[in-house]
């Protein structure tokens, strides 16, 4: 949005990070320690690196058929009375059932700003064969049209029509859903149901609908929005959930009619075959009201004999006195038989270890390492593993200049680690090139009318120019790890080894082994593994093809693996790819 130009674009602020004027970096600071230091106080700020800011494991009792946790400050999230200055606010029981995505070893890919026909082809040619569970797509509803066609215009709804967005038509959307489903890939829609648009106002949407900030003919009028107010304190839940984020008109989800209409949008998408939803800016929707929206949709779909869609919520929270925190949303969808995962932004801090920011190193990811140099739920104050959607970057945080395609091998290795370790349900962002810090609001390559052009993937990240498609998910180090994660699902991380700095290795029970060399020189090492003796094919160099390895073969003998890895390289073996005798 033009009135939000600079380093902090609309959707960046919608998610987690506050941006400093004139920089592309998140506020806060961190050192060389183990888990992220998350900034406290007045805003959705976060920084990577540093020592743990919040301790504590999950608490609370179990419920029949589900799990439980405290609504206040469980799972490492310290909070304050959620009422803030707005009086007592309703709370949601924290009982939940796992979605099962983490336990199954699933992975989904976020094809950020891709047009519908390109996604359909990608499902058939790449994602389905790779074993990807689902694709997250950009918001499909009618959206505002900004003069420079920023990517953030997709997050400013004008109506809930799918007839025309910059990604294509409703017919193309339906065709994409059908074609992806036919190869086993679900579609997750990014659902923007917290607010509408404020720029331009008055304006005309992507499907020709005329509107003003508080008037959307046939849908919403002034009385359907919360009274205008600004979010000045993240210690006040009423402000966070009832006021306008960046002056975006905030829908009054306290009204049953508003909740019903939003539920109908989700129902319509599910009837088209959509497999799941990401609820954008869920933190800014009162949790009991959001639960009712989901329950209304689930009840209708269940009555029609349809499955309840998968759900994950964008809820950023650092603790540090914030009034609205992820554990307060644990129970969303539970009472109607559903489940909801939640975004775990803290895992982004792992990227700084692969970039070696401030002297950080990969050895600090040891789950049993010394205090301040270990990775795990308690050490990092993370959400429960069966509740977390994890990522090294998403479309918002990518624009705060953390680890990304620009970091080449370090980024590849970070993805190998994320997909090899067992925590959470991983999401892989796949988008287009831009100059971080100066082109953060840049939209995808489009024609003169702002309609996104078909995707053509770059073969070399290092030579990509602005708006050229990176297609990170196609990289062999990322694509081939999808199969590894599925093969080792349910197995614990075991037999950790590191050299004290940036070479690490570990097993996944008896099913798999991974070694990562983040050093600047080659290493040769013998390490113990819990994988059975035998010869295996390295998945990252192609795995087993026919009766031979497409690339490197690896031998386990006497419970040990001896390997040589060049700088910036990794290897993975799984019992699914043994070399025939």
Q: Which residues are catalytic?
A: 280, 314
User: What is the spatial distance between Cα 196 and Cα 284, in angstroms, rounded to a whole number?
Assistant: 13
Q: Which two tokens stand for residue 12?
A: 């960046």
SS3 state at 16:
coil
User: What is the spatial distance between Cα 579 and Cα 544, in angstroms, rounded to a whole number?
Assistant: 7
User: What is the spatial distance between Cα 430 and Cα 422, in angstroms, rounded to a whole number?
Assistant: 22
Task: Report yes or no: 120 and 100 within 8 Å, Cβ to Cβ.
Answer: no
In terms of Cα–Cα distance, which of 268, 264, 92, 109 is closest to 188? 109
Residues 6+ apart with CB under 8 A from 98: 67, 339, 386, 387
User: What is the spatial distance between Cα 396 and Cα 232, in angstroms, rounded to a whole number?
Assistant: 21
Location of structure tokens 């009274």? 227
Q: Look up residue 423 and give its DSSP letter.
A: S
CB atoms within 10 A of CB 214: 16
SS3 state at 74:
coil
> Quick one: three-class SS letters along 447-488?
CCCCCECCCCECCCHHHCCCCCECCHHHCHHHHHHHHHHHHC
Report CA-CA distances (Å) from 190 to 277, 281, 306, 323. Answer: 6, 10, 20, 25
User: What is the spatial distance between Cα 397 and Cα 18, in angstroms, rounded to a whole number?
Assistant: 10
Buried b / exposed e along 44-69 (16+ C-beta atoms within 10 A): bbbbbbbbbbbebebebeeeeebbbb
Residues 6+ apart with CB under 8 A from 448: none
> Quick one: three-class SS letters along 531-550?
CCCEEEECHHHCCEECCEEC
User: What is the spatial distance between Cα 499 and Cα 496, in angstroms, rounded to a whole number?
Assistant: 11
Helix H or strand E segment including 265: helix 256-271
- Concatenated DSSP letters for 196-229? ---SSSSEE-TTS-EEBTTBBTTTB-GGGBPPP-
Residue 274 has phi, psi (to 5 degrees) of -60, 135
Task: Report yes or no: 266 and 310 within 8 Å, Cβ to Cβ.
Answer: no
The HSE-up count of residue 182 (CA atoms within 13 Å, CB side) is: 11
């Amino acid at each position: 949005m033009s009135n939000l130009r600079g380093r902090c674009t609309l959707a960046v602020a919608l998610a987690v990070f506050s941006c400093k004027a004139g920089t592309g970096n998140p506020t806060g600071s961190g050192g060389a320690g183990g888990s992220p230091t998350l900034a406290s106080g007045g805003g959705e700020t976060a920084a990577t690196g540093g020592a743990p800011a919040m301790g504590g494991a999950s608490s609370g009792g179990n419920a029949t058929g589900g799990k439980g946790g405290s609504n206040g400050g469980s799972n490492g999230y310290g909070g304050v009375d959620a009422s803030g200055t707005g009086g007592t606010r309703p709370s949601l029981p924290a009982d939940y059932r796992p979605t099962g995505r983490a336990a199954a070893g699933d992975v989904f890919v976020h094809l950020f700003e891709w047009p519908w026909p390109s996604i359909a082809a990608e499902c058939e040619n790449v994602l389905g064969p790779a074993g990807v569970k689902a694709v997250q797509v950009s918001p499909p509803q009618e959206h505002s049209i900004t003069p420079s066609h920023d990517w953030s215009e997709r997050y400013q709804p004008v109506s809930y029509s799918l007839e025309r967005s910059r990604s294509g038509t409703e017919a193309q959307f339906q065709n994409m859903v059908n074609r992806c489903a036919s190869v086993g890939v679900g579609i997750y829609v990014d659902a923007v149901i917290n607010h509408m648009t404020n720029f331009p106002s008055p304006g005309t949407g992507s499907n020709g609908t005329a509107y003003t900030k508080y008037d959307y003919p046939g849908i919403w009028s002034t009385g359907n929005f919360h009274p205008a107010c600004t979010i000045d304190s993240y210690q006040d839940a009423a402000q966070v959930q009832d006021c306008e984020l960046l002056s975006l008109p905030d829908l009054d989800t306290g009204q049953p009619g508003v909740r019903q209409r939003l539920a109908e949008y989700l129902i319509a998408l599910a009837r088209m075959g959509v497999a799941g939803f990401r609820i954008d800016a869920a933190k800014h929707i009162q949790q009991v009201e959001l639960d009712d929206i989901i329950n209304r949709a689930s009840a209708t779909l269940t009555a029609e004999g349809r499955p309840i869609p998968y759900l994950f919520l964008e809820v950023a929270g650092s603790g540090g006195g914030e009034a609205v925190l992820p554990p307060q949303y644990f129970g969303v969808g539970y009472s109607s038989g559903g489940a909801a995962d939640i975004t775990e932004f803290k895992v982004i801090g792992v990227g700084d270890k692969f970039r070696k920011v401030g002297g950080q190193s990969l050895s600090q990811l040891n789950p049993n390492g010394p205090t301040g140099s270990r990775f795990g739920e308690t050490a990092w104050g993370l959400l429960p593993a069966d509740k977390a959607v994890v990522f090294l970057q998403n479309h918002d945080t990518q624009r705060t200049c953390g680890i990304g395609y620009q970091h080449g091998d370090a980024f590849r290795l970070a993805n190998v680690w994320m997909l090899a370790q067992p925590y959470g349900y991983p999401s892989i962002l796949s988008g287009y090139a831009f100059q971080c810090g100066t082109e953060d609001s840049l939209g995808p390559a489009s024609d003169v009318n702002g309609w996104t052009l078909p995707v053509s993937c770059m073969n070399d990240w290092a030579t990509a120019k602005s708006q050229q498609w990176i297609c990170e998910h196609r990289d062999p180090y990322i694509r081939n790890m999808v199969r590894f994660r599925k093969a080792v699902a349910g197995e614990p991380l075991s037999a950790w080894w590191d050299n004290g700095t940036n070479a690490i290795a570990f097993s996944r029970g008896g099913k798999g082994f991974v070694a990562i060399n983040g050093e600047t020189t080659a290493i040769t090492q013998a390490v113990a593994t819990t994988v059975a003796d035998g010869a295996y094919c390295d998945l990252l160099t192609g795995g087993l093809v026919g009766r031979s390895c497409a690339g490197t073969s690896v031998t386990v003998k006497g419970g040990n693996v001896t390997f040589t890895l060049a700088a910036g390289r990794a290897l993975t073996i799984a019992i699914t790819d043994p070399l025939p005798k």
